[in-house]
Amino acid sequence: MRTPLSPIVFSIGLIILSGCAGGASVSQNQCIASDWQTLGYRDGVNGLRSSQLLKHQDACVEHGIIPDRSGYMAGWNEGIREYCQPNNAFEIGELGRGHNNVCPGEMQTTFTTAYREGRKLYLLRVEVANIERAIAQSEQRLEAVKAEIVSSATHQLDPLLTPADRIELAAHTHRLTEERHRLQHDIPALLDELDDKQAELDGLRQSLAGVVY
């Protein structure tokens, strides 16, 4: 079985998201602290390009601080190798996230393979969820249409209706009846589609069960 994604990837991911929220890639305190190796590692382990250093440089130059490129790159290279592990690639694909093609040449192939497998799983889950949603919406609408048909039939007994009202009400009932027939046809077809897609998903899960990522 594939191993779970390292907790450090998630924790550092939260750090980088919070750090970028204000617009600048790094804060004034981070510039002053000048822990460029840690910053490089943070960017690498989150799959950012090493060109992220240029954004840090733009943020820090306002405070009169020049980044330590060698320290940053040492940290980035360490972080990117952790990011490019196959188990992480699979996890990223399974979550439906993209990536920046940042892995070193010797790691790119295994990263891409694992990512695509995870991505397949994600896309199949999305398809299953979409079909389930369509079935639920169709069934809900069918019940509403049935209730409207009953209401319309009852309304036609109103002796105060004008001839024009009766014509319009009859046309409305006809439209509802056609919609009911369409829904009664579509729902079984959707259920069959769901069975097929669920079987495909189960098959993929089974084929991945013995894969080590």
> Comparing 9-23, 154-168, 183-197, which segment has the lowest mean pLDDT?
9-23
The conformation of residue 168, written as its DSSP 8-state character, comes to: H
CA distance 125 to 198: 8
Start-to-end Cα distance in the chain: 7
pLDDT tens per residue across span 50-66: 999 999 888 888 888 88
Structural domain boundaries in the chain: 1-83, 84-213
pLDDT band for position 111 (cuts 50, 70, 90): very high
Classify burial at 25, counting beta carbons within 10 Å of its beta carbon; exposed 0-12, middle 13-18, buried 19 or more.
Answer: buried
User: Taking a C-beta distance cutoff of 8 angstroms, is the pair 181, 108 a contact?
Assistant: no
pLDDT tens per residue across span 78-105: 999 999 999 999 999 999 999 999 999 8
| Ramachandran bin of 34, using left for φ above 0, alpha for ψ from -120 to 50, beta for the remaining angles | left
What average pLDDT score do residues 60-77 get? 91
Neighbours of 162 (CB within 10 A): 8
CA distance 194 to 200: 10
Torsion of CA 64, 68, 72, 75, to 10 degrees: -130
Angle of CA points 28, 102, 37, to nearest 5°: 35
User: Taking a C-beta distance cutoff of 8 angstroms, is the pair 84, 107 a contact?
Assistant: yes
Q: What is the 3 state secondary structure string of 88-130?
A: HHHHHHHCCCCCCCCCCHHHHHHHHHHHHHHHHHHHHHHHHHH
Give percent of the chain above pLDDT 90.
67
Classify burial at 146, counting beta carbons within 10 Å of its beta carbon; exposed 0-12, middle 13-18, buried 19 or more.
Answer: middle
What is the structure's pLDDT at 86?
A: 96
CA distance 213 to 209: 10
CA distance 60 to 68: 11
Q: How high does pLDDT run on average in the chain? A: 87
pLDDT tens per residue across span 136-189: 999 999 999 999 999 998 888 888 889 999 889 999 999 999 999 999 999 999
CA distance 149 to 190: 24
Please determine, for residue 203, whether its predicted confidence score (pLDDT) is greater than 60. Answer: yes
Please determine, for residue 205, whether its predicted confidence score (pLDDT) is greater than 60. Answer: yes
